[in-house]
């Protein structure tokens, strides 16, 4: 999986960017793997809409919140294109969206932390034509999966951090009324589409998304399975129907 499209991987790198833990995570995996940094975010307010294009990072989300708070006109809608980002920041951004009763429009892409925390927090969700959405795990994914990203000598420090994230994530999903397993069904279901594809993540049928609590959902066209975003290809496969 390309590091620039992995929100979970990027979250680890951002949270442990200093000290030996950072070094271990950044150096793990293939020795020829290229370093990846988030592209500059594009944030604007047009009328009652915050337009957010880029990764979910602390600086960008703080700036977005400031722009909304300083706007002369009440901002009621978030129009987002994002490949994901930091888990903790994504949760806080989700709380902001929920607290401000904001509608969300996905213009092109909503992957990883965007799908995990932005869509569930929205008053309503509109997914635009030819957009790609995708989940690929969250704080509550299995320890076995996290162990693949963390060298064993740093597990103690990492799991203290992860425990806090898991509590925050559980509180968030309880607040917004969305199934917390929305982030992991692609890992835990025996008939997951990821068993037969090399997709970076997965997405759900409209009825399953509604069943899990995504509110007032409108999908304006067939969702994409592949998208080129900032010179990186992102793939998402459709999960078989989970709920009747």
What are the pLDDT digits (tens) for 160-172? 999 999 999 999 9
Give the lowest-confidence range in 25-29, 51-55, 223-227.
25-29
* Average confidence (pLDDT) over 80-87: 96
Counting the structural domains of the chain, the total is 1
What are the pLDDT digits (tens) for 94-112? 999 999 999 999 999 999 9
- Residue 147's domain comprises 3-238
Residue 66 lies in a domain: yes
Q: pTM (2 decimals)?
A: 0.84
Residue 161 lies in a domain: yes
Residue 102 lies in a domain: yes
Find the CATH number of the domain harbouring 97. Answer: 3.90.226
The Cα–Cα gap between 93 and 194 comes to: 28
Res 15: pLDDT: 45
Residue 243 lies in a domain: no
What are the pLDDT digits (tens) for 112-151? 999 999 999 999 999 999 999 999 999 999 988 888 878 8
Residue 210 lies in a domain: yes
Cβ atoms of 12 and 112 closer than 8 Å: no
The mean pLDDT value of the chain amounts to: 86
Residue 51 lies in a domain: yes
Residue 244 lies in a domain: no
């Amino acid at each position: 999986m390309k590091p620039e499209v992995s929100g979970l991987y990027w979250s680890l790198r951002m949270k442990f960017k200093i000290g030996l833990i950072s070094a271990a995570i950044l150096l793990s995996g293939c020795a020829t793997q290229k370093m990846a940094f988030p592209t500059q975010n594009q944030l604007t307010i047009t009328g009652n809409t915050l337009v957010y294009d880029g990764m979910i990072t602390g600086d960008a989300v703080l700036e977005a919140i400031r722009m909304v708070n300083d706007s002369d006109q009440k901002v009621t809608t978030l129009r987002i294109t994002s490949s994901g980002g930091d888990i903790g920041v994504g949760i806080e951004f989700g709380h902001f969206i929920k607290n401000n009763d904001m509608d969300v429009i996905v213009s092109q892409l909503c992957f990883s932390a965007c799908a995990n925390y932005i869509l569930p927090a929205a008053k309503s969700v509109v997914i635009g034509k030819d957009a790609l959405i995708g989940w690929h795990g969250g704080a509550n994914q299995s320890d076995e999966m996290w162990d693949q990203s963390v060298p064993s000598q740093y597990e103690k420090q990492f799991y203290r951090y992860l425990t806090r994230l898991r509590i925050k994530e559980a509180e968030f999903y309880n607040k917004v009324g969305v199934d917390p397993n929305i982030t992991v069904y692609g890992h835990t279901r025996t008939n997951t589409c990821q068993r037969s594809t090399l997709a970076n993540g997965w997405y759900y049928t409209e009825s399953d998304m509604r069943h899990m609590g995504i509110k007032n959902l409108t999908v304006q066209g067939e969702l994409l399975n592949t998208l080129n975003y900032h010179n990186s290809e992102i793939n998402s496969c459709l999960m078989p129907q989970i709920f009747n």
